Structure 1
């Protein structure tokens, strides 16, 4: 199993989406964060299951919700850095701006 770190901006992505979902329907934000946690756990168990999408950044589509978790794997110390959690309709430039 790999150790997971989540960048503050990625945590903010999750919080903002959860708030938005809660505004749409009671407890939907809680359900969203549950699916995020579940996918992060699966990523930590086997990150190579997920394709490299940009340079060395892999992405995992969240079940049920239209979001992708963007992450980088460091094999030498068996760590994963989650850099973004973005809605699939958002422009890839938003993720690229974070890499600058």
Structure 2
């Protein structure tokens, strides 16, 4: 199984998003976290099955089904690095300098 490394900014983005959803409806933040956990398990088990974000970049992307977020990651020699948890309406690629 592939080792998954999640950068700190991703954890913070997810935390803030879950809090926002919990303010909308109690328990919805937990549902977001569960959706992310499911997506990350797919990334961990089959990272190459996700499409490239752009052909000229090393990043791959997986979109959450229920929430308007995407997870961006790159496959490294020894692990998979998750570099962004991004709202789909936010400026694309804001996270590429990580």
TM-score by length of 2: 0.92
TM-score by length of 1: 0.90
Shift of 1:63: 2.3
CA distance in 1 between counterparts of 2:27 and 2:6 reads: 23
Alignment partner, residue 31 of structure 2:
31
Query: What runs of 5+ residues in structure 2 fail to find an aligned partner?
Result: none
Alignment partner, residue 90 of structure 1:
90
User: Which ranges of 4 or more aligned residues in structure 1 deviate by more than 3 Å?
Assistant: none
Q: Secondary structure at the match of 2:62?
A: strand
Instruction: Establish whether residue 71 from structure 1 lines up as the match of residue 69 from structure 2.
Output: no
CA distance in 1 between counterparts of 2:38 and 2:85 reads: 14
CA distance in 2 between counterparts of 1:25 and 1:94 reads: 28
Alignment partner, residue 44 of structure 2:
44
CA distance in 1 between counterparts of 2:93 and 2:32 reads: 24
CA distance in 2 between counterparts of 1:31 and 1:93 reads: 25
Q: Secondary structure at the match of 1:94?
A: coil
Equivalent pairs counted in the alignment come to 96
Structure 1 vs Structure 2 CA RMSD: 1.1
Query: What runs of 5+ residues in structure 1 fail to find an aligned partner?
Result: none
